[in-house]
Copies of this chain bind each other. A is one copy, B any other.
Protein backbone atom coordinates (compact mmCIF):
# COMPACT_ATOMS: atom_id res chain seq x y z
CA UNK A 1 0.00 0.00 0.00
CA UNK A 2 2.89 2.34 0.54
CA UNK A 3 3.28 2.55 -3.23
CA UNK A 4 -0.16 3.96 -3.70
CA UNK A 5 -0.30 7.73 -4.07
CA UNK A 6 -2.34 9.43 -1.38
CA UNK A 7 -4.58 12.38 -1.91
CA UNK A 8 -1.89 14.81 -0.85
CA UNK A 9 0.83 13.80 -3.19
CA UNK A 10 -1.07 12.49 -6.14
CA UNK A 11 -2.81 14.62 -8.73
CA UNK A 12 -5.03 16.13 -6.09
CA UNK A 13 -4.12 18.67 -3.53
CA UNK A 14 -2.83 21.55 -5.56
CA UNK A 15 -2.45 25.09 -4.38
CA UNK A 16 -3.91 27.50 -6.89
CA UNK A 17 -2.45 30.96 -6.63
CA UNK A 18 -4.46 33.63 -8.38
CA UNK A 19 -2.84 36.97 -9.09
CA UNK A 20 -5.66 39.33 -9.94
CA UNK A 21 -3.38 42.27 -10.63
CA UNK A 22 -1.68 40.53 -13.53
CA UNK A 23 -4.42 38.05 -14.45
CA UNK A 24 -1.98 35.20 -13.84
CA UNK A 25 -2.24 31.96 -12.00
CA UNK A 26 -0.03 29.07 -10.94
CA UNK A 27 -0.87 25.66 -9.57
CA UNK A 28 1.58 23.76 -7.39
CA UNK A 29 1.29 20.53 -5.46
CA UNK A 30 0.82 20.88 -1.73
CA UNK A 31 4.06 20.68 0.17
CA UNK A 32 4.50 17.66 2.42
CA UNK A 33 5.63 19.78 5.33
CA UNK A 34 2.56 21.99 5.16
CA UNK A 35 0.29 18.96 5.10
CA UNK A 36 2.00 17.20 7.98
CA UNK A 37 2.07 20.27 10.17
CA UNK A 38 -1.29 21.78 9.37
CA UNK A 39 -3.34 18.92 7.82
CA UNK A 40 -5.66 21.13 5.72
CA UNK A 41 -8.41 23.76 5.71
CA UNK A 42 -8.10 26.21 8.56
CA UNK A 43 -4.56 25.02 9.27
CA UNK A 44 -3.40 25.91 5.78
CA UNK A 45 -4.99 29.32 5.81
CA UNK A 46 -3.57 30.24 9.20
CA UNK A 47 -0.12 29.22 8.11
CA UNK A 48 -0.30 30.94 4.73
CA UNK A 49 -1.60 34.21 6.16
CA UNK A 50 1.04 34.19 8.90
CA UNK A 51 3.80 33.57 6.42
CA UNK A 52 2.68 35.71 3.52
CA UNK A 53 1.05 38.81 5.03
CA UNK A 54 3.06 41.66 6.38
CA UNK A 55 2.00 43.05 9.75
CA UNK A 56 -0.13 46.13 9.43
CA UNK A 57 -1.34 45.44 5.91
CA UNK A 58 -4.55 47.26 4.94
CA UNK A 59 -7.25 44.58 4.72
CA UNK A 60 -8.81 46.22 1.69
CA UNK A 61 -5.54 46.73 -0.17
CA UNK A 62 -4.18 44.47 -2.91
CA UNK A 63 -1.63 43.29 -0.35
CA UNK A 64 -4.23 41.44 1.70
CA UNK A 65 -4.83 37.86 0.61
CA UNK A 66 -7.90 35.71 0.62
CA UNK A 67 -7.26 32.04 1.21
CA UNK A 68 -10.04 29.61 0.32
CA UNK A 69 -9.36 26.04 1.33
CA UNK A 70 -10.82 22.61 1.82
CA UNK A 71 -9.42 19.64 3.67
CA UNK A 72 -8.17 16.09 3.30
CA UNK A 73 -11.66 14.59 3.64
CA UNK A 74 -13.54 16.98 1.40
CA UNK A 75 -15.45 15.23 -1.33
CA UNK A 76 -15.07 11.82 0.33
CA UNK A 77 -17.84 9.84 1.97
CA UNK A 78 -16.78 11.05 5.41
CA UNK A 79 -19.78 12.85 6.87
CA UNK A 80 -19.96 16.60 7.40
CA UNK A 81 -16.38 17.17 6.27
CA UNK A 82 -16.88 19.03 3.03
CA UNK A 83 -17.15 22.61 4.12
CA UNK A 84 -14.78 25.29 2.89
CA UNK A 85 -13.02 28.00 4.80
CA UNK A 86 -12.15 31.60 3.87
CA UNK A 87 -9.23 33.17 5.71
CA UNK A 88 -7.99 36.74 5.46
CA UNK A 89 -7.06 39.75 7.45
CA UNK A 90 -10.44 41.18 8.34
CA UNK A 91 -11.48 44.65 7.22
CA UNK A 92 -13.98 44.63 10.07
CA UNK A 93 -11.63 43.75 12.92
CA UNK A 94 -8.18 44.43 11.52
CA UNK A 95 -7.04 41.02 12.76
CA UNK A 96 -6.98 37.43 11.57
CA UNK A 97 -10.27 35.97 10.39
CA UNK A 98 -11.57 32.57 9.49
CA UNK A 99 -15.07 32.21 8.08
CA UNK A 100 -16.56 28.87 7.08
CA UNK A 101 -19.12 28.18 4.38
CA UNK A 102 -21.12 25.14 3.33
CA UNK A 103 -23.05 23.83 0.38
CA UNK A 104 -21.39 22.06 -2.53
CA UNK A 105 -18.62 24.48 -3.45
CA UNK A 106 -15.97 22.83 -1.27
CA UNK A 107 -16.39 19.39 -2.78
CA UNK A 108 -16.40 20.84 -6.29
CA UNK A 109 -13.15 22.67 -5.62
CA UNK A 110 -11.63 19.42 -4.47
CA UNK A 111 -12.93 17.61 -7.55
CA UNK A 112 -11.22 20.26 -9.68
CA UNK A 113 -7.97 19.26 -8.03
CA UNK A 114 -7.39 22.05 -5.56
CA UNK A 115 -7.12 22.17 -1.78
CA UNK A 116 -6.25 25.81 -1.58
CA UNK A 117 -6.88 28.97 -3.55
CA UNK A 118 -4.77 31.98 -2.63
CA UNK A 119 -6.25 35.16 -4.09
CA UNK A 120 -3.79 38.00 -4.36
CA UNK A 121 -3.64 41.53 -5.73
CA UNK A 122 -6.47 43.46 -7.26
CA UNK A 123 -8.03 43.38 -10.71
CA UNK A 124 -8.30 46.67 -12.51
CA UNK A 125 -11.89 45.98 -13.53
CA UNK A 126 -14.50 43.58 -12.12
CA UNK A 127 -13.61 39.99 -12.94
CA UNK A 128 -14.62 36.51 -12.02
CA UNK A 129 -12.43 33.45 -12.08
CA UNK A 130 -13.64 30.36 -13.90
CA UNK A 131 -11.87 27.18 -12.85
CA UNK A 132 -12.70 24.24 -15.10
CA UNK A 133 -10.51 21.50 -13.67
CA UNK A 134 -6.97 22.33 -14.82
CA UNK A 135 -8.05 25.39 -16.81
CA UNK A 136 -8.26 28.76 -15.11
CA UNK A 137 -9.71 31.85 -16.77
CA UNK A 138 -10.09 35.46 -15.75
CA UNK A 139 -13.39 36.71 -17.10
CA UNK A 140 -15.02 40.08 -17.36
CA UNK A 141 -17.60 40.56 -14.59
CA UNK A 142 -18.98 43.89 -15.74
CA UNK A 143 -22.37 42.38 -16.46
CA UNK A 144 -22.80 40.63 -13.14
CA UNK A 145 -21.35 43.48 -11.11
CA UNK A 146 -24.08 45.13 -9.00
CA UNK A 147 -26.28 42.07 -9.26
CA UNK A 148 -27.58 40.32 -6.19
CA UNK A 149 -26.23 36.82 -5.66
CA UNK A 150 -29.24 35.01 -7.08
CA UNK A 151 -29.23 36.99 -10.30
CA UNK A 152 -25.44 36.74 -10.52
CA UNK A 153 -25.57 32.99 -10.01
CA UNK A 154 -27.90 32.49 -12.95
CA UNK A 155 -25.63 34.55 -15.17
CA UNK A 156 -22.41 32.93 -14.02
CA UNK A 157 -23.63 29.37 -14.35
CA UNK A 158 -25.07 30.10 -17.75
CA UNK A 159 -21.81 31.63 -18.90
CA UNK A 160 -19.76 28.72 -17.60
CA UNK A 161 -21.44 25.43 -16.85
CA UNK A 162 -24.84 24.75 -15.38
CA UNK A 163 -23.54 22.26 -12.85
CA UNK A 164 -20.62 24.39 -11.71
CA UNK A 165 -20.46 25.71 -8.16
CA UNK A 166 -19.63 29.24 -7.21
CA UNK A 167 -18.75 31.60 -4.42
CA UNK A 168 -19.53 35.23 -4.99
CA UNK A 169 -20.30 38.57 -3.47
CA UNK A 170 -23.40 40.72 -3.66
CA UNK A 171 -23.67 44.49 -3.81
CA UNK A 172 -22.54 44.78 -0.17
CA UNK A 173 -19.15 43.25 -0.89
CA UNK A 174 -18.75 45.41 -3.97
CA UNK A 175 -19.42 48.48 -1.87
CA UNK A 176 -16.81 47.35 0.67
CA UNK A 177 -19.37 46.98 3.41
CA UNK A 178 -17.24 45.65 6.23
CA UNK A 179 -19.79 43.08 7.30
CA UNK A 180 -20.16 41.68 3.77
CA UNK A 181 -20.30 37.92 3.24
CA UNK A 182 -19.21 35.49 0.57
CA UNK A 183 -22.24 33.59 -0.73
CA UNK A 184 -22.34 30.28 -2.59
CA UNK A 185 -24.53 29.44 -5.57
CA UNK A 186 -26.69 27.50 -3.10
CA UNK A 187 -27.00 30.49 -0.75
CA UNK A 188 -24.64 29.28 1.92
CA UNK A 189 -22.36 31.92 3.33
CA UNK A 190 -18.94 32.46 4.80
CA UNK A 191 -20.07 35.61 6.46
CA UNK A 192 -18.13 36.67 9.49
CA UNK A 193 -15.50 39.36 9.46
CA UNK A 194 -16.18 40.84 6.04
CA UNK A 195 -14.71 38.40 3.50
CA UNK A 196 -17.15 39.85 0.97
CA UNK A 197 -15.46 43.23 1.31
CA UNK A 198 -12.06 41.62 0.72
CA UNK A 199 -13.34 40.15 -2.54
CA UNK A 200 -14.93 43.47 -3.39
CA UNK A 201 -11.68 45.33 -2.76
CA UNK A 202 -10.01 43.00 -5.23
CA UNK A 203 -12.72 43.56 -7.86
CA UNK A 204 -13.47 39.85 -7.68
CA UNK A 205 -17.17 39.12 -8.12
CA UNK A 206 -16.98 35.35 -8.05
CA UNK A 207 -15.01 32.16 -8.30
CA UNK A 208 -16.81 29.51 -10.33
CA UNK A 209 -15.54 25.94 -10.22
CA UNK A 210 -16.23 22.75 -12.09
CA UNK A 211 -14.34 19.57 -11.20
CA UNK A 212 -14.51 16.01 -12.38
CA UNK A 213 -11.73 14.26 -10.46
CA UNK A 214 -12.26 12.05 -7.46
CA UNK A 215 -10.12 12.34 -4.35
CA UNK A 216 -7.54 9.59 -4.08
CA UNK A 217 -8.04 7.52 -0.94
CA UNK A 218 -5.13 5.73 0.73
CA UNK A 219 -7.20 2.89 2.17
CA UNK A 220 -10.78 2.68 0.94
CA UNK A 221 -11.69 -0.22 3.17
CA UNK A 222 -10.45 1.36 6.38
CA UNK A 223 -12.17 4.58 5.44
CA UNK A 224 -15.40 2.75 4.82
CA UNK A 225 -15.22 1.13 8.26
CA UNK A 226 -14.49 4.41 9.98
CA UNK A 227 -17.33 6.16 8.20
CA UNK A 228 -19.67 3.37 9.29
CA UNK A 229 -18.63 4.10 12.83
CA UNK A 230 -19.18 7.79 12.29
CA UNK A 231 -22.66 7.22 10.92
CA UNK A 232 -23.49 5.03 13.90
CA UNK A 233 -22.35 7.78 16.23
CA UNK A 234 -24.59 10.22 14.38
CA UNK A 235 -27.57 7.94 14.77
CA UNK A 236 -26.92 7.46 18.47
CA UNK A 237 -26.65 11.17 19.12
CA UNK A 238 -29.68 12.07 21.26
CA UNK A 239 -30.55 15.14 19.21
CA UNK A 240 -30.06 13.52 15.81
CA UNK A 241 -33.72 13.37 14.84
CA UNK A 242 -34.47 16.84 16.17
CA UNK A 243 -31.56 18.18 14.24
CA UNK A 244 -32.65 16.57 11.02
CA UNK A 245 -36.11 17.92 11.55
CA UNK A 246 -35.29 21.49 12.47
CA UNK A 247 -31.55 22.03 12.41
CA UNK A 248 -30.41 24.62 14.92
CA UNK A 249 -33.97 25.93 15.02
CA UNK A 250 -34.84 23.29 17.56
CA UNK A 251 -32.52 25.06 20.02
CA UNK A 252 -33.74 28.65 19.68
CA UNK A 253 -36.27 28.61 22.47
CA UNK A 254 -34.06 26.42 24.64
CA UNK A 255 -31.19 28.85 24.28
CA UNK A 256 -33.42 31.62 25.51
CA UNK A 257 -34.21 29.62 28.62
CA UNK A 258 -30.47 29.14 29.19
CA UNK A 259 -30.05 32.92 29.35
CA UNK A 260 -28.78 33.26 25.79
CA UNK A 261 -30.58 34.64 22.73
CA UNK A 262 -30.13 37.97 24.54
CA UNK A 263 -33.02 40.30 23.68
CA UNK A 264 -32.91 44.04 23.09
CA UNK A 265 -29.23 44.35 22.30
CA UNK A 266 -28.25 42.33 25.40
CA UNK A 267 -30.43 44.38 27.72
CA UNK A 268 -31.91 40.99 28.47
CA UNK A 269 -35.40 42.13 29.38
CA UNK A 270 -37.83 39.24 28.89
CA UNK A 271 -38.74 38.95 25.23
CA UNK A 272 -42.41 39.41 24.60
CA UNK A 273 -43.42 36.91 21.96
CA UNK A 274 -40.64 34.42 22.66
CA UNK A 275 -43.25 31.70 22.15
CA UNK A 276 -43.03 32.43 18.43
CA UNK A 277 -39.60 30.80 18.55
CA UNK A 278 -40.76 27.50 20.01
CA UNK A 279 -39.74 24.54 17.87
CA UNK A 280 -43.28 23.62 16.93
CA UNK A 281 -43.95 27.13 15.65
CA UNK A 282 -40.74 27.29 13.65
CA UNK A 283 -41.41 23.80 12.29
CA UNK A 284 -44.68 25.03 10.84
CA UNK A 285 -42.72 27.18 8.38
CA UNK A 286 -40.37 24.45 7.17
CA UNK A 287 -41.08 22.89 3.79
CA UNK A 288 -37.79 21.29 2.87
CA UNK A 289 -34.52 20.01 4.24
CA UNK A 290 -31.25 20.86 2.57
CA UNK A 291 -27.65 20.28 3.39
CA UNK A 292 -24.04 20.31 2.42
CA UNK A 293 -22.20 17.78 0.31
CA UNK A 294 -21.76 14.50 2.17
CA UNK A 295 -23.87 15.19 5.20
CA UNK A 296 -26.76 13.06 6.36
CA UNK A 297 -28.06 15.69 8.75
CA UNK A 298 -29.32 18.18 6.18
CA UNK A 299 -29.66 20.85 8.83
CA UNK A 300 -30.66 23.48 6.26
CA UNK A 301 -34.34 24.23 6.58
CA UNK A 302 -36.31 25.98 3.89
CA UNK A 303 -38.87 28.35 5.36
CA UNK A 304 -42.04 29.29 3.49
CA UNK A 305 -43.72 32.64 4.07
CA UNK A 306 -47.44 32.66 3.43
CA UNK A 307 -48.56 35.94 4.93
CA UNK A 308 -47.54 39.55 5.30
CA UNK A 309 -45.50 41.69 2.94
CA UNK A 310 -43.00 38.90 2.23
CA UNK A 311 -45.52 36.21 1.32
CA UNK A 312 -44.49 33.96 -1.53
CA UNK A 313 -40.88 33.55 -0.43
CA UNK A 314 -39.32 30.19 0.26
CA UNK A 315 -35.77 30.50 1.53
CA UNK A 316 -33.15 28.28 3.09
CA UNK A 317 -32.66 29.51 6.59
CA UNK A 318 -32.82 31.35 9.00
CA UNK A 319 -31.23 29.22 11.70
CA UNK A 320 -30.61 29.95 15.37
CA UNK A 321 -28.20 32.85 15.07
CA UNK A 322 -30.32 34.67 12.51
CA UNK A 323 -33.53 34.18 14.47
CA UNK A 324 -31.70 36.12 17.10
CA UNK A 325 -29.95 38.72 14.98
CA UNK A 326 -33.14 39.73 13.16
CA UNK A 327 -35.41 38.53 15.95
CA UNK A 328 -34.46 38.42 19.62
CA UNK A 329 -31.73 41.04 19.68
CA UNK A 330 -34.12 43.43 17.94
CA UNK A 331 -37.15 42.51 20.01
CA UNK A 332 -38.76 41.27 16.82
CA UNK A 333 -40.92 38.14 16.93
CA UNK A 334 -42.27 38.41 13.39
CA UNK A 335 -40.82 35.24 11.91
CA UNK A 336 -41.82 36.23 8.38
CA UNK A 337 -39.66 39.33 8.55
CA UNK A 338 -36.74 37.34 9.91
CA UNK A 339 -36.95 35.04 6.91
CA UNK A 340 -37.12 38.03 4.58
CA UNK A 341 -34.18 39.76 6.25
CA UNK A 342 -32.19 36.55 6.02
CA UNK A 343 -33.00 36.30 2.34
CA UNK A 344 -32.00 39.90 1.69
CA UNK A 345 -28.69 39.35 3.48
CA UNK A 346 -28.01 36.36 1.26
CA UNK A 347 -29.01 38.29 -1.85
CA UNK A 348 -27.03 41.40 -0.99
CA UNK A 349 -24.19 39.40 0.57
CA UNK A 350 -24.29 40.42 4.22
CA UNK A 351 -23.44 38.68 7.48
CA UNK A 352 -26.80 38.17 9.20
CA UNK A 353 -25.30 38.30 12.69
CA UNK A 354 -23.36 41.51 12.23
CA UNK A 355 -26.18 43.17 10.30
CA UNK A 356 -28.80 42.44 12.94
CA UNK A 357 -26.51 43.42 15.81
CA UNK A 358 -25.66 46.66 14.02
CA UNK A 359 -29.36 47.47 13.73
CA UNK A 360 -29.85 46.60 17.42
CA UNK A 361 -26.99 48.92 18.29
CA UNK A 362 -28.62 51.78 16.39
CA UNK A 363 -31.99 51.00 17.93
CA UNK A 364 -30.65 51.18 21.46
CA UNK A 365 -28.85 54.44 20.70
CA UNK A 366 -32.14 55.83 19.43
CA UNK A 367 -33.98 54.50 22.48
CA UNK A 368 -31.43 56.17 24.75
CA UNK A 369 -31.60 59.43 22.80
CA UNK A 370 -27.95 59.24 21.75
CA UNK A 371 -28.96 59.51 18.11
CA UNK A 372 -32.09 61.06 16.67
CA UNK A 373 -33.89 61.26 13.35
CA UNK A 374 -31.21 63.52 11.90
CA UNK A 375 -28.74 60.68 12.30
CA UNK A 376 -31.14 57.97 11.08
CA UNK A 377 -32.13 59.74 7.87
CA UNK A 378 -35.60 60.17 9.23
CA UNK A 379 -36.17 56.58 10.31
CA UNK A 380 -37.86 56.04 13.63
CA UNK A 381 -36.04 53.15 15.24
CA UNK A 382 -37.88 51.02 17.70
CA UNK A 383 -37.71 47.47 18.94
CA UNK A 384 -39.59 44.92 16.89
CA UNK A 385 -40.40 46.97 13.80
CA UNK A 386 -40.06 44.60 10.83
CA UNK A 387 -40.41 47.30 8.22
CA UNK A 388 -37.52 49.36 9.57
CA UNK A 389 -35.37 46.26 9.98
CA UNK A 390 -35.85 45.29 6.35
CA UNK A 391 -35.23 48.84 5.18
CA UNK A 392 -32.01 49.04 7.18
CA UNK A 393 -30.72 45.77 5.74
CA UNK A 394 -30.97 47.36 2.33
CA UNK A 395 -29.45 50.63 3.45
CA UNK A 396 -26.50 48.85 5.02
CA UNK A 397 -25.94 46.68 1.95
CA UNK A 398 -25.90 49.67 -0.38
CA UNK A 399 -24.47 52.17 2.11
CA UNK A 400 -27.59 54.30 1.68
CA UNK A 401 -27.83 57.40 3.83
CA UNK A 402 -25.91 58.40 6.91
CA UNK A 403 -27.02 55.50 9.08
CA UNK A 404 -26.71 52.79 6.42
CA UNK A 405 -23.24 53.94 5.56
CA UNK A 406 -22.24 54.08 9.20
CA UNK A 407 -23.57 50.66 10.19
CA UNK A 408 -21.87 49.22 7.10
CA UNK A 409 -18.64 49.84 9.02
CA UNK A 410 -19.70 47.55 11.87
CA UNK A 411 -20.66 48.62 15.38
CA UNK A 412 -17.13 49.28 16.66
CA UNK A 413 -16.26 51.88 14.05
CA UNK A 414 -19.81 53.26 14.05
CA UNK A 415 -19.56 53.83 17.81
CA UNK A 416 -16.25 55.61 17.38
CA UNK A 417 -17.76 57.94 14.82
CA UNK A 418 -20.86 58.63 16.90
CA UNK A 419 -19.02 59.07 20.19
CA UNK A 420 -21.24 60.25 23.05
CA UNK A 421 -20.79 56.96 24.90
CA UNK A 422 -22.15 54.91 22.01
CA UNK A 423 -19.37 52.34 22.47
CA UNK A 424 -21.19 51.10 25.56
CA UNK A 425 -23.96 49.74 23.32
CA UNK A 426 -21.74 48.34 20.60
CA UNK A 427 -21.92 44.62 21.24
CA UNK A 428 -18.72 43.39 19.68
CA UNK A 429 -15.52 41.67 20.70
CA UNK A 430 -12.40 42.86 18.93
CA UNK A 431 -14.67 44.51 16.38
CA UNK A 432 -16.68 41.40 15.50
CA UNK A 433 -20.35 41.67 16.40
CA UNK A 434 -21.34 39.21 19.11
CA UNK A 435 -23.45 36.12 18.51
CA UNK A 436 -26.50 34.91 20.48
CA UNK A 437 -24.63 33.99 23.67
CA UNK A 438 -24.44 35.94 26.88
CA UNK A 439 -21.14 35.50 28.72
CA UNK A 440 -22.92 36.21 31.97
CA UNK A 441 -25.00 33.08 31.57
CA UNK A 442 -22.10 30.72 30.76
CA UNK A 443 -18.65 31.66 31.88
CA UNK A 444 -16.66 29.22 29.83
CA UNK A 445 -18.57 30.19 26.72
CA UNK A 446 -17.93 33.83 27.61
CA UNK A 447 -14.23 33.20 28.01
CA UNK A 448 -14.15 31.54 24.63
CA UNK A 449 -15.81 34.58 23.08
CA UNK A 450 -13.46 36.99 24.87
CA UNK A 451 -10.37 35.16 23.66
CA UNK A 452 -11.51 34.20 20.18
CA UNK A 453 -8.77 34.69 17.62
CA UNK A 454 -11.25 36.25 15.19
CA UNK A 455 -13.22 38.25 17.77
CA UNK A 456 -16.69 37.51 19.11
CA UNK A 457 -17.37 34.21 17.42
CA UNK A 458 -19.51 31.38 18.78
CA UNK A 459 -18.19 29.04 16.12
CA UNK A 460 -14.59 28.54 17.17
CA UNK A 461 -15.08 28.36 20.95
CA UNK A 462 -18.42 26.65 21.37
CA UNK A 463 -18.53 25.33 24.92
CA UNK A 464 -20.26 22.02 24.70
CA UNK A 465 -19.49 21.28 28.35
CA UNK A 466 -21.70 24.11 29.51
CA UNK A 467 -24.24 24.04 26.74
CA UNK A 468 -24.89 20.37 26.15
CA UNK A 469 -23.16 18.80 29.13
CA UNK A 470 -20.76 16.82 26.92
CA UNK A 471 -18.28 15.30 27.34
CA UNK A 472 -19.18 16.17 30.94
CA UNK A 473 -21.65 18.47 32.59
CA UNK A 474 -20.31 21.56 34.32
CA UNK A 475 -21.97 24.39 36.20
CA UNK A 476 -22.22 27.34 33.77
CA UNK A 477 -21.89 29.93 36.54
CA UNK A 478 -18.67 28.82 38.15
CA UNK A 479 -15.41 30.30 37.01
CA UNK A 480 -12.99 27.66 38.18
CA UNK A 481 -11.70 25.29 35.56
CA UNK A 482 -13.28 27.19 32.69
CA UNK A 483 -9.95 28.16 31.13
CA UNK A 484 -9.16 24.51 30.57
CA UNK A 485 -12.56 23.97 28.97
CA UNK A 486 -12.20 26.99 26.72
CA UNK A 487 -8.80 25.81 25.56
CA UNK A 488 -10.21 22.32 25.02
CA UNK A 489 -13.03 23.38 22.71
CA UNK A 490 -10.87 25.94 20.91
CA UNK A 491 -8.11 23.48 20.12
CA UNK A 492 -10.55 20.75 19.22
CA UNK A 493 -12.42 22.97 16.81
CA UNK A 494 -9.22 24.24 15.24
CA UNK A 495 -8.11 20.66 14.73
CA UNK A 496 -11.41 19.54 13.26
CA UNK A 497 -11.67 22.55 10.98
CA UNK A 498 -8.63 21.29 9.13
CA UNK A 499 -10.98 18.67 7.63
CA UNK A 500 -13.09 21.02 7.20
CA UNK A 501 -15.61 19.39 9.58
CA UNK A 502 -18.84 21.20 10.33
CA UNK A 503 -18.83 22.86 13.74
CA UNK A 504 -22.29 21.51 14.48
CA UNK A 505 -21.03 17.95 14.50
CA UNK A 506 -17.70 18.65 16.16
CA UNK A 507 -19.30 20.31 19.06
CA UNK A 508 -21.20 17.19 19.98
CA UNK A 509 -20.41 13.56 20.30
CA UNK A 510 -20.63 12.83 16.62
CA UNK A 511 -17.25 13.89 15.37
CA UNK A 512 -14.13 14.07 17.54
CA UNK A 513 -10.39 14.11 17.09
CA UNK A 514 -10.53 10.38 17.78
CA UNK A 515 -12.87 9.72 14.89
CA UNK A 516 -11.03 12.30 12.83
CA UNK A 517 -7.66 10.59 13.23
CA UNK A 518 -9.17 7.32 12.03
CA UNK A 519 -10.72 8.70 8.87
CA UNK A 520 -7.78 10.99 8.28
CA UNK A 521 -5.22 8.22 8.39
CA UNK A 522 -7.41 6.00 6.24
CA UNK A 523 -7.74 8.78 3.68
CA UNK A 524 -4.13 9.96 3.61
CA UNK A 525 -1.91 7.21 4.94
CA UNK A 526 0.17 9.74 6.80
CA UNK A 527 1.50 8.02 9.93
CA UNK A 528 1.46 11.08 12.13
CA UNK A 529 -2.28 11.41 11.74
CA UNK A 530 -2.85 7.99 13.29
CA UNK A 531 -2.50 9.42 16.75
CA UNK A 532 -5.41 11.46 18.04
CA UNK A 533 -3.03 13.36 20.30
CA UNK A 534 -1.25 14.71 17.27
CA UNK A 535 -4.49 16.24 16.04
CA UNK A 536 -4.96 17.99 19.37
CA UNK A 537 -1.43 19.31 19.00
CA UNK A 538 -2.18 20.62 15.52
CA UNK A 539 -5.32 22.27 16.88
CA UNK A 540 -3.32 24.04 19.54
CA UNK A 541 -0.67 24.93 16.97
CA UNK A 542 -3.28 26.57 14.75
CA UNK A 543 -4.82 28.47 17.64
CA UNK A 544 -1.44 29.80 18.72
CA UNK A 545 -0.50 30.74 15.20
CA UNK A 546 -3.76 32.65 14.83
CA UNK A 547 -3.07 34.36 18.14
CA UNK A 548 0.43 35.20 17.00
CA UNK A 549 -1.05 36.81 13.91
CA UNK A 550 -3.29 38.91 16.12
CA UNK A 551 -0.45 39.81 18.48
CA UNK A 552 1.56 40.89 15.50
CA UNK A 553 -1.34 43.20 14.64
CA UNK A 554 -1.30 44.70 18.11
CA UNK A 555 -3.74 42.52 20.00
CA UNK A 556 -3.02 41.97 23.71
CA UNK A 557 -4.84 41.30 26.96
CA UNK A 558 -6.71 44.61 26.77
CA UNK A 559 -8.56 43.32 23.74
CA UNK A 560 -9.51 40.01 25.33
CA UNK A 561 -12.65 41.38 26.81
CA UNK A 562 -16.38 41.68 26.33
CA UNK A 563 -18.62 44.78 26.15
CA UNK A 564 -18.77 46.71 29.39
CA UNK A 565 -22.43 45.94 29.94
CA UNK A 566 -21.64 42.27 30.44
CA UNK A 567 -18.96 43.06 33.00
CA UNK A 568 -20.98 45.54 35.04
CA UNK A 569 -24.72 45.09 34.58
CA UNK A 570 -26.01 42.06 36.46
CA UNK A 571 -28.03 39.74 34.27
CA UNK A 572 -31.69 40.72 34.76
CA UNK A 573 -33.41 37.44 34.03
CA UNK A 574 -33.34 33.79 35.03
CA UNK A 575 -31.60 31.43 35.18
CA UNK A 576 -28.50 33.62 35.31
CA UNK A 577 -30.21 36.45 37.20
CA UNK A 578 -27.68 38.60 39.06
CA UNK A 579 -24.65 37.16 37.28
CA UNK A 580 -21.92 39.28 35.73
CA UNK A 581 -18.99 38.08 33.65
CA UNK A 582 -15.85 37.72 35.78
CA UNK A 583 -13.31 38.49 33.12
CA UNK A 584 -10.19 39.06 35.26
CA UNK A 585 -10.01 35.70 36.95
CA UNK A 586 -11.04 33.82 33.83
CA UNK A 587 -8.44 35.50 31.67
CA UNK A 588 -5.63 34.99 34.13
CA UNK A 589 -6.39 31.31 34.26
CA UNK A 590 -6.68 31.16 30.51
CA UNK A 591 -3.27 32.71 29.81
CA UNK A 592 -1.72 30.32 32.28
CA UNK A 593 -3.42 27.30 30.75
CA UNK A 594 -2.47 28.52 27.29
CA UNK A 595 1.18 29.07 28.21
CA UNK A 596 0.92 32.75 27.32
CA UNK A 597 2.32 35.69 29.23
CA UNK A 598 0.15 38.13 31.17
CA UNK A 599 -0.20 40.31 28.07
CA UNK A 600 -1.65 37.36 26.22
CA UNK A 601 1.34 36.61 24.02
CA UNK A 602 2.33 32.99 23.50
CA UNK A 603 5.56 32.29 25.36
CA UNK A 604 8.59 31.04 23.47
CA UNK A 605 8.44 27.67 25.26
CA UNK A 606 4.87 27.12 24.16
CA UNK A 607 5.64 28.03 20.58
CA UNK A 608 8.67 25.78 20.53
CA UNK A 609 6.58 22.95 21.96
CA UNK A 610 4.14 23.49 19.12
CA UNK A 611 6.85 23.52 16.48
CA UNK A 612 6.42 27.22 15.85
CA UNK A 613 9.90 28.36 16.73
CA UNK A 614 10.10 30.78 13.81
CA UNK A 615 6.90 32.37 15.08
CA UNK A 616 8.53 32.95 18.43
CA UNK A 617 11.43 34.64 16.69
CA UNK A 618 9.21 36.94 14.68
CA UNK A 619 7.03 37.87 17.63
CA UNK A 620 10.09 38.73 19.64
CA UNK A 621 11.47 40.89 16.85
CA UNK A 622 8.26 42.61 15.92
CA UNK A 623 6.33 42.91 19.10
CA UNK A 624 8.31 42.41 22.24
CA UNK A 625 11.06 44.75 21.20
CA UNK A 626 8.85 47.65 20.26
Contact = CB atoms under 8 A, between A and B. Distances in A.
Interface stretch (A91-99, A265-273, A304-312, A543-551): A304-312
A309 B387 CA distance: 14
Contact of A313 (B151, B287, B288, B312): B151
A312 B172 CA distance: 10
A148 B287 contact: no
Contacts of A170: 312
B304 A146 contact: yes
Contacts of A287: 143, 155
Interface in A147-172: 147-148, 151-152, 154-155, 170-171
A313 B150 CA distance: 9
Number of copies of this chain in the oligomer?
2
Contacts of A312: 146-148, 151, 170-171, 347-348, 397
Interface residues of A, number: 25
Nearest to A152: B314
User: Which one of A171, A304, A347, A348 has the greatest number of beta carbons of chain B within 10 Å?
Assistant: A304
B148 A309 contact: no
Nearest to A145: B306
Contact of A314 (B151, B304, B306): B151
A313 B344 CA distance: 12
Interface in A170-185: 170-171
Interface string A370-399: 000000000000000000000000100110
Interface in A109-154: 143, 146-148, 151-152, 154
Interface string A352-381: 000000000000000000000000000000
A143 B312 CA distance: 12
B311 A398 contact: yes
A284 to B, nearest CB: 13
5 smallest A-B Cβ distances: which pairs?
A148-B312, A151-B314, A146-B306, A143-B287, A147-B314
Interface of A: 143, 146-148, 151-152, 154-155, 170-171, 287-288, 304, 306, 309, 311-315, 347-348, 394, 397-398
30 contacts: A143-B287, A143-B288, A143-B304, A146-B304, A146-B306, A146-B311, A146-B312, A147-B304, A147-B312, A147-B313, A148-B312, A148-B313, A148-B314, A151-B304, A151-B312, A151-B314, A151-B315, A152-B314, A154-B314, A155-B287, A155-B288, A155-B314, A170-B312, A171-B311, A171-B312, A309-B394, A311-B398, A312-B347, A312-B348, A312-B397
